[in-house]
Amino acid sequence: MTAEYKVHGDIAVITLNNPPVNGLGLATRQGIADGLTKANDDPAVKAIVITGAGKAFSGGADIKEFGSPKALQEPNLLSVILAVENSSKPVIAAVHSVCMGGGLELALGCHYRIAAPGCSVALPEVKLGLIPGAGGTQRLPRALGVEPALNMIVSGEPVKSEMLAMLPGQKLFDKMASSAESLAEEALAYARSVADARPLPLVRNLPCKHPLGDAYFQFARNMVKGMSKNFPAPAKCVDAVEAATKQKFDVGMATERDIFLNLMLTPESKALRHIFVAERAASKIPDVPADTPQRAINSVAVIGAGTMGGGISMNFLNAGIPVKMLEMKQDALDRGIATIRKNYESQVKKGKLKQDKYEQRMSLLSTTLSYDDLKDADMVIEAVFEEIGVKEAVFKELDRVMKPGAILASNTSTLDVNKIASFTKRPQDVVGMHFFSPANVMKLLEVVRGEKTAKDVLSTVMAVAKKIRKTAVVSGVCDGFIGNRMIEQYGRQGGFLLDEGCTPEQVDKAIEKFGFAMGPFRMGDLAGNDIGWAIRKRRVVEQADMKYSKTADLLCEKGRFGQKTGAGWYDYVAGKRDAVPNADVVTMIEEHRKSLGITPRKISDEEIVQRLVYSLVNEAARILEEGIASKASDIDMVYLMGYGFPIYRGGPMNYADQVGLFNVVQAMKRFAKNPLDDAKFWEPAPLLAKLVAEGKTFN
């Protein structure tokens, strides 16, 4: 049952009941339509109340129907709203808690609306690259006024019902209930008070004008320019609302429909909808059921108060979870604490954090030099030097002191989590928690699942991630996990491009124009070129046949490690992040090229982007095939949240799907023929080849 029907004396009540937020899926829509028919056919019924059970009036479209034909199947939302408008008996929406998207559009179709205070009201479609598609852009400006309505439609942000009710002249809410608890009773009374009113008022008949006319819409277009870069929807919101002021209602509805359907087909909206679903899917692990028990995490210990340890600690302090940091020496602890303080103080200065909140967070932080002080912590996260011997010593100590059932996590970025687990007598409690730097800022958390990691440990870590506001993605154990294993191939392509004729600036600019936050060389300078250097030194031992450009090694031999040394692929002025191209680096690249006997060629931006992005895609396909990632959308989340992949392209896998996997493979075959590139690498991963053969996509 997704919409219940009950008669209370002379009032029929239709209660949406499709948890968690009464999404307007097909069955719910059918339930509303049936309820309306029943109520209109029943002579004892004088008026009809529509409300929502549980935590919402309605959150809008049912995400389970996203992009499926069910979403459009009759009765679709437009038809339901038409049925509401055409009801011969008054229909009253009784809204509370959450009234968003299609939920608000449904309410706007009702003859009257009564709202509980505290209700979040929004038309959030713009966040999915769309405009409201069931009359929201035509009715909200009529009910609320053009300007506040456009603000809501363009931002997609919720506004509280009581604030909206205060807007002068608004016709969105005819009445405010005194509380959410009394809404049901007050709605019945209100319905009785309007039961005999005729003609029935309709929002569509209200006037819709802005006093400034065209000038206002010009201002509005200028205002949305910033947020419209790469996203077509915000400007289309302005067009649709303008149509509400200039066209007859039904014509405006057709304009809205046109815009909505066109936006549905844009790659940007497809990307945003993909991300919406991918984000929710990431927390679901195929073989870990949703009802897997979780361990209670009320206190955390962090080993190592360096760059990562400090940032990791801040995440927990921000979430109100006490943290105890352990170091080998007092001065390391002092430095760690000072950095955390400095971070918070700069937030206080910028007005982003209240002084009392800052003090409250710091009061949750304690330190120690002794492992015995950690024994009561529910979870410990290790962030010490990246050396297996150091990790061994730490995990043996943790195994000795931590209480049974405590979760033992490592923030290692390259080491084998199974090996780390083997240092303890409780490998089932060991897991990788790979944060990204700066750990208090970056949204991504790779949860590394060891061979023996227990399911309840995984489900607990996923829940903890949510609490500290991270997007967690599960990765199996392999070198570099999902993100860094892919970035290594991307970096290798960057090197070949230099050898063949590019400058670092040209490569960076091309991929930044594609939408990456930062090109590979600026990113190398930020992360420290010495990190990649160390990895390559290890690689040439392990994989002697691996082909790669030596330019990055030459750069490191010059001590140009990046921003931290003031010089890398670019020069940096202290205190600034601007990357200034350096002539000596360009000469170094040219000389190296000459020593290899390569005649430089002009490489197009298109080739640069394809080689960089498809190198990610091919490695990702291998990762997927090996089961390191359990779904393609997880890989997209890693790249969107942790590596600055452009949001409007939806991640590398989504992008490849959009380009067409056939085309992607064709390009790979072309690259394989380039003698200066790595033909073996460009062999399409078997999974990719299979998908192409079957005409399928990743997602």
Residues with a catalytic annotation lie at 105, 125
- Contact predicate 141/217, CB 8 Å: no
User: Is the CB of 394 or the CB of 477 nearer to ligand NAI?
Assistant: 394
User: Is the CB of 81 or the CB of 523 nearer to ligand NAI?
Assistant: 523
Sign of CA dihedral 245, 121, 637, 640: positive
Determine the Cα–Cα distance for residues 244 and 365; give it in Å rounded to an integer: 55
User: Is the CB of 481 or the CB of 570 nearer to ligand NAI?
Assistant: 481
Q: What is the 3-state secondary structure (H, E, C) of 151-169?
A: HHHHHCCCEEHHHHHCCCC
Q: What is the 3-state secondary structure (H, E, C) of 456-471?
A: HHHHHHHHHHHHCCCE
User: Is the CB of 17 or the CB of 437 nearer to ligand NAI?
Assistant: 437
- Contact predicate 672/615, CB 8 Å: no
**CB 463 → ligand NAI: shortest distance, Å?**
22
User: Is the CB of 90 or the CB of 304 nearer to ligand NAI?
Assistant: 304
Determine the Cα–Cα distance for residues 649 and 176; give it in Å rounded to an integer: 42
Determine the Cα–Cα distance for residues 420 and 126; give it in Å rounded to an integer: 45
- Contact predicate 53/4, CB 8 Å: yes
**CB 580 → ligand NAI: shortest distance, Å?**
24
User: Is the CB of 436 or the CB of 645 nearer to ligand NAI?
Assistant: 436
**CB 445 → ligand NAI: shortest distance, Å?**
10
- Contact predicate 440/343, CB 8 Å: yes
User: Is the CB of 124 or the CB of 310 nearer to ligand NAI?
Assistant: 310
* Of the candidates 52, 37, 155, the residue with the CA atom closest to the CA atom of residue 107: 52
**CB 269 → ligand NAI: shortest distance, Å?**
33
User: Is the CB of 83 or the CB of 305 nearer to ligand NAI?
Assistant: 305
- Strands 91-95 vs 112-115: parallel, antiparallel or unpaired: parallel
- End-to-end alpha carbon distance in the chain: 31
- Contact predicate 145/233, CB 8 Å: no
Determine the Cα–Cα distance for residues 593 and 591; give it in Å rounded to an integer: 5
HSE-up of 176 (CA within 13 Å, CB side)? 14
Q: How many residues are present in the chain?
A: 699
**How big is the chain by its Cα radius of gyration, in Å?**
29
What is the maximal distance between C-alpha atoms in the chain? 94
**CB 307 → ligand NAI: shortest distance, Å?**
4
**CB 414 → ligand NAI: shortest distance, Å?**
6
Cα 202–Cα 162–Cα 136 angle in degrees, nearest 5: 40
Q: What is the enclosing helix (H) or strand (E) of 109?
A: helix 102-109
User: Is the CB of 547 or the CB of 564 nearer to ligand NAI?
Assistant: 564
Closest residue to ligand NAI, based on beta-carbon distance: 306
Interface residues with ligand NAI (CB under 6 A)? 303-309, 326-328, 332, 383-386, 390, 393-394, 411-413, 434-437
**CB 635 → ligand NAI: shortest distance, Å?**
18
What letter represents residue 123's amino acid?
L
**CB 275 → ligand NAI: shortest distance, Å?**
23
| Residues 6+ positions from 389 with CB-CB distance below 8 Å | none
**CB 326 → ligand NAI: shortest distance, Å?**
6
**In the chain, what are the helix, strand and coil shares in percent, each to the nearest 5?**
50, 10, 35
User: Is the CB of 152 or the CB of 420 nearer to ligand NAI?
Assistant: 420
**CB 473 → ligand NAI: shortest distance, Å?**
14
- Contact predicate 135/256, CB 8 Å: yes
Tokens of 673: 């023929």
Q: What is the enclosing helix (H) or strand (E) of 445?
A: strand 444-449
Determine the Cα–Cα distance for residues 514 and 490; give it in Å rounded to an integer: 15
What letter represents residue 563's amino acid?
Q
Determine the Cα–Cα distance for residues 116 and 281; give it in Å rounded to an integer: 32
